[in-house]
Structure 1
Amino acid sequence: MDNGGKRAGPPQYTDWKAIERLCRFLVIFYNSTLVVSASTTVNAYKCYEEIVNIATNLMALSQSRDHELKRKAVEMYKKFDKYWDGVKNINNMLIVATVFDPTKKMVLASLCFDELYGKDSLEGKAMYDSVIGILRSLFNEYGERYGKSAAGKPDEGKNSNSQSNSCSRELSMVSMDLDDDGLGYKRIDQRYKDMLNESGVKDNRDELDIYLKEGVENPDLMPGVEYDVLPFWKRNCTKFPILSQIA
C-alpha cells in the first residue's frame, strides 16, 4: 500500500526483505516436509530428528538481530512448542524409534539433547536416562513375550550365515586327535576350557547392551538413495532376536 492505495510497479526493498524473512521460515519446513513426506520407506525413525531441526532453527531465529524476523520466530516457536506440549514432554517413543536406526542409535539422540538443552546439561542427562529406561523396559517386556521363540528360530537368517555354516561343516570333517602322554604334558587350550567351566566366563551383555555399544552403521549409499532400516533388522534377526521384534 502507498498513500492509502495499492502501489503499481516492481517490488521495493521492504518487499524483498519481507520475502527474505519468509524464505528463512519456509526452508525449515520445506526440508522437514521433504524428509517425512517424500520418503519411499518406513520413516518413523526420522520424525524426532526433524522436530529437533525445526525447534533449534526457530530458537536460533528467535535470537536474530532483525527485530521483525525475531518477533515472527518467537510467535512461531510458541505455537510449535504448544503443538508438541513442550519439546521436553514429547512422546519419548519418537526418540526410541530413532535409536532403532543402526546408523544413529543413541548418538543422534545425545546430539539432539545437547542442541536443545545445552551440552552436559541436567535436562539433557535426564532425557538420556529416560530413553535408556524406556529401552530397557521394552527389552524386558519383549524378552518375556518373545525371548524363547525368537531364540529358537534356526532357519531365520540362514542366507546371511550360509558362509559361516559352510566353514563349520568343512572344519567338522577334519579329525584332530591330539595325543596326551599323561606324564605332565598340558595344553593351554584345555586349561582355558577348564577355566570356562569353573568360572563361567562369558559375555554377560544382553542384546540391548551389545547393540548400543557397537559402532553405528555407515552405509556407502549413492546420492539420492535412501537408507532403509527394515532390511538391517531382517538380516540381523538372529543376532538381535528380541530387538528385531521391537523394531
Structure 2
Amino acid sequence: MEDSIFQIHLAVRYVRSSPARLQKFKECVTKEKIESKAQLVLDVETRWNSTYLMLEVTIKFQKAFELLEIEDSKYSDELSSGERFRGLPTCIDWEYARYFLPFLKVFYDTTLRVSGSLYVTSNAYMQDIFGIGLKISKWCRSVDPGLHIMALRMKGKYDKYWSNIDNINLMLFIVEVLDPRHKLEYVNWVINESFDMVLADRLKAKVKEVLVALFKQYSSFKVVLSAQPSEQTRVAMEIDVDDVDLDNEEFMKAMYQEKQARKKVVNHKTELDKYLTDDCEDDNKSFNILQWWKLNSTKYGALSMIA
C-alpha cells in the first residue's frame, strides 16, 4: 500500500515539475471530460494529512493520468528509471489509494478540529486524540497486510507523543469530565481502553486528584453543621442537654437532633460530588455546553468556575 501511494506521489510530482508537463496534463483532463477544477497538490511524505489532500484530489484525475501515459512518452520513461521507480501507477495502485483514503481522512479531519479555533471547544480534544489512538489500534489488528503495516507505523508515531502518561496534559481529561454528557465515568472508560491496566489506574488516579484539587482551589465551601438549619433543629440544638431539670422528651429530642446534625456534616456532598453522581445529559450534536453551565452555575457553584 505504501508503494502504491509513492507511485501516485511520483506521478503528481512529474506533472507539477514544469509548466509544459502541467499543460499536457490539463489537455488530458479536457479530453477525458473531467469536470473537477481541483488543483493537483504534492504531499509531504511524513505528514498523513497532506497525503490525504494529495490522494483526495489526484484520484479524481485517474483517467487523465492513464491518458497521459499515451500522450507523453517521457512520463513513462521517467517513472520507470531509477532505483525507487517501478513504472506508472497501476489499477491496483489506484484501488489501494481509494481504499486507504477514508483512513487518512480521520487524521485530516482531526487536524482541522484540533488546530482550528473555529472548529473545536476544549472538551472535544480528548475524544479526537484518543479516538485516533483507538482506531489505529483496531487497524493494527486488520487482516489486510498493507493496512496492518501502515497502522503499525502510525502507532509508533502516535505512541511517541501519547503513550507516556507523565507527559500528558491532564486538562485534556478534566475538561471532558466537565462535559455533563460524559463526566468521569466516560473519561475512565477512555483511559482503560487506551492504556494497560497499570498505567490506566495511575492515570485515573491522577485525573481524580487534579479534579479534586481544582475544585478545592475554586471553592469557598466550608464545612458547617448546616447551611440553613430548620427552625425545629435550631431550637433543639440550643437546648442544654446537661440541664438535670430537662424533661425526658426534650432531652431525647435534643440528643437526636444533635446526632442528625453531625450526620449531615459527615455525609455532606460537595458540588463536585453532586455533579459526578447526577445523571449525564443526553449526548446530541446540538448540545451547548457553555449555555448548560451558565444555567447550572448556581447548582454546582465553584465547579462552574472551573468549567
Normalised TM-score (structure 1):
0.66
CA-CA distance at 1:147 after TM superposition: 4.6
Matched, 1:229 2:289: yes
Find the partner of 2:96 among 17, 25, 37.
17
Aligned to 1:128: 204
Matched, 1:101 2:162: no
Of the two structures, which has the highest relative contact order with CA contacts closer than 8 Å and spacing of 6 or more? 1
Deviations 1:46-99 (A, max 9, x none): 1001111111111222232322222222222222333x3535331111100100
Matched position secondary structure for 1:239: helix
Unpaired runs of 5+ in structure 2?
1-6, 8-68, 70-75, 81-86, 223-248
Distance in 2 separating the partners of 1:70 and 1:42: 30
1:1-247 to 2 correspondences below 5 Å: 4=77, 12-21=91-100, 23-33=101-111, 36=114, 43-82=121-160, 84-86=161-163, 88=165, 89-117=167-195, 121-143=197-219, 146-147=220-221, 195-200=256-261, 201-202=263-264, 203-218=267-282, 225-247=285-307
Distance in 2 separating the partners of 1:124 and 1:12: 45
CA-CA distance at 1:246 after TM superposition: 0.8
Matched position secondary structure for 1:238: helix
Unpaired runs of 5+ in structure 1?
149-185
Is this contact kept in 2: 1:42–1:228, CA < 8 A? no
Greater percentage in helix:
2
Aligned to 2:229: none
Matched position secondary structure for 1:216: coil
- Aligned residues: CA RMSD: 3.4
CA-CA distance at 1:31 after TM superposition: 4.5
Matched position secondary structure for 2:297: coil
Q: Which amino acid counterpart does residue 190 of structure 2 have in structure 1? A: C
Distance in 1 separating the partners of 2:194 and 2:111: 21
Distance in 1 separating the partners of 2:274 and 2:140: 41
Normalised TM-score (structure 2):
0.55
Is this contact kept in 2: 1:28–1:57, CA < 8 A? no
Identity across the alignment (%) = 28
Distance in 2 separating the partners of 1:55 and 1:226: 26
Distance in 1 separating the partners of 2:282 and 2:259: 40
Distance in 1 separating the partners of 2:209 and 2:301: 20
Indicate how the Cα distance of structure 1 residues 33 and 41 shifts in structure 2: closer, same or farther if over 3 A, else same: closer
Instruction: Look at both structures and tell me which one has the larger radius of gyration over its CA atoms.
Output: 2
Distance in 1 separating the partners of 2:119 and 2:142: 37
- Count of aligned positions: 197
